[in-house]
Structures are given as structure tokens and as C-alpha cells.
Amino acid sequence: MPGTLYVVATPLGNLGDLSPRAAEVLRQAGVVAAEDTRRTRGLLSHLGASPTLLSFHAHSGERRVDTLLEILKDGRDLALVTDAGTPGVSDPGTDLVAAALEAGLTVVPIPGPSAVATALSGAGLPADRYLFLGFIPRKGTDRSRLLARAAAEEWSVVFFEAPSRLVGLLEDLAAAAGPGRTALVARELTKLHEELRRGTLAELADYYSLTPPRGELTIVLEGTGAPATPPDRTADAVEEATALLAEGLSRREVARRITETLGISRNDAYRLVMGLP
């Protein structure tokens, strides 16, 4: 019988947050694949566990995935862990889990600590629905697009960020969402120097400009509380429709195409096309 891939959530910092079930899996698994073997070795030592410890991180590549799959196919159970929190959530693990499922192997997630859920629970902001963006790009159009998406989002938005880039993120969010939008910066969750600081984006940017943060950071941005206004695609529709008409397409076909490509209603598309010269 093939082995089982256990996807194990590990503590963000406080070892007391490791569930008894997760501890039992780590004690019994023959092999543990870890993002950083040095950090995981300390956790295993705390548990009195001594499995074979293999490295598996974001840059491991297909060869390491194949090696881990062979371990499972040989009948040995494998536990996947990252440095902290839940594998696959802004952490390595997705490729291995996908490959195991595609190979028909059994995958068992062992739930536990999550910085996302922990920060949301302490933010005092709506968390029945939320958008998780993790680490957004440092610059470029993708960063601008995600900042604009976050600013317009109806629900709370959760980010991860490095300490050296926190002030830049807060300032960019203030420019996109307004300096008065409420946010929470959760620092070093569950650890000795845990800090949850809530305020406006302007207040938080000012504070952390004067008090550079250390440690791991999770940021929760307040949502707008209302659905985002859909963008006005009229100019795009006119441009595309004019070009298609120039190619000789019928007005009915042009209306159908701009409905598909731009997402506007069929009636609006037809009225727009019929109004063109």
C-alpha cells in the first residue's frame, strides 16, 4: 500500500499551538519534508521525533517532487511542513500536493495555526468574507493592480509583508484607499514580542516610520463595506466595435463579440453598436 502525504500546520511561534494530532503525525511519519530543515529539526527534537528529514522549499524543483512521490509510492508516510503555519498558504507545498493527488495518492491535511486567521480574529474587522493577497509584487503594474483591487474590495484584505517594506506598503495603500482607512498590523504573532496595532493607514505609516518593525508581519485592511463599482467599459466597447465593423462584420456579430470580450450586457452592446455610424 502507498503511504499517505500529511500536510501539517505547525506553530507560528508558540510551540503550545501545535495540535496533539499534528504532534502524533510528526512522531509517526517515517519522513518529514521541511522548508528549512534546521528550523524543523528543533520542533522534532521538542517532540522527541526522529524521522528522516528532507529539504523541500520553493526552489526544490521537479526532481525533489519526484523523490518525495517515490517515497510515498514505496509505502512510507510523509509529513510536509513549512517554517510556520500551513503549507501551501504563501508557503511551499502546492506542487507536491497537486502531484500526489494526480498520482492517486492519499493526502490528509492536518489543520492548525494560520497567520491569516489569527490576524483576522484579532483585527476587529469583518472576517466572514475576506480577500487574501499574501506578498504582493514589490513594484510594477501587478503591484498597482493589486493595490487598486485591495482599495476597492468590499471585504477585509489580508497581506503578508517583510519588515523593510511595511512602510512602503502602508503608504501605497493610503494613496490607493485613502489615509483614513482602518488597518491592523500584526507582528510576531504568538511569539514573545507579539504586537497588534490598529489605526488608520496614515497613523500606522507614521508609527512604523519612527519605529521600524522586526519579525513576521500580517496586515489586515478594512474593506469598503460596499460592492466595488464596475468599471465603465464604454470607451473600450466603442473602440473595439468600430474596429470590428471596419473589418466587415455584421452589427449583430459585433455586439456578440464585445459582450463576450468586455462582459457588458447583450442589450447594452446591441444599443451601442446600433448607435455607431
Output the DSSP codes for 68-98.
HHHHHHTT--EEEE-SSB-TTSSSS-HHHHH
Residues in contact with 128: Cβ distance below 8 Å, sequence separation at least 6, in sequence order: none
Residues in contact with 276: Cβ distance below 8 Å, sequence separation at least 6, in sequence order: 238, 241, 242, 245
Residue 37 covered by a domain: yes
| pTM across the whole model | 0.81
Residue 193 covered by a domain: yes
Residue 180 covered by a domain: yes
Statement to judge: residues 81 and 153 lie in one domain: no
Statement to judge: residues 63 and 134 lie in one domain: no
Statement to judge: residues 209 and 122 lie in one domain: yes
pLDDT score for 165: 98
pLDDT score for 129: 96
Statement to judge: residues 13 and 109 lie in one domain: yes
Statement to judge: residues 107 and 9 lie in one domain: yes
Statement to judge: residues 29 and 61 lie in one domain: yes
Statement to judge: residues 69 and 127 lie in one domain: no
Statement to judge: residues 171 and 135 lie in one domain: yes
Residue 54, strand partner residues: 33
Of the residues 80, 98, 113, the one at which a domain ends: 113
The low-confidence residues of the chain, meaning pLDDT below 70, are 230-231
Residue 139 covered by a domain: yes
Statement to judge: residues 103 and 122 lie in one domain: no
CA–CA distance, 81 with 26 (Å, rounded to integer): 9
pLDDT score for 235: 86
Length of the chain: 277
Q: What is the CATH number of the domain that holds 126?
A: 3.30.950.10
What order do you get walking across the sheet with 156-161 strand by strand?
130-134, 156-161, 217-221, 182-187, 195-200
Domain that holds residue 26: 4-113
Statement to judge: residues 107 and 122 lie in one domain: no
Q: What is the CATH number of the domain that holds 101?
A: 3.40.1010.10
CA–CA distance, 159 with 276 (Å, rounded to integer): 45
Residue 173 covered by a domain: yes
Domain count for the chain: 3
Of the residues 65, 96, 113, the one at which a domain ends: 113
Measured distance between the N- and C-terminal CA atoms of the chain, rounded to whole angstroms: 71
Of the residues 82, 113, 144, the one at which a domain ends: 113
pLDDT score for 262: 83
Residue 227 covered by a domain: no
Statement to judge: residues 255 and 195 lie in one domain: no
Statement to judge: residues 109 and 124 lie in one domain: no
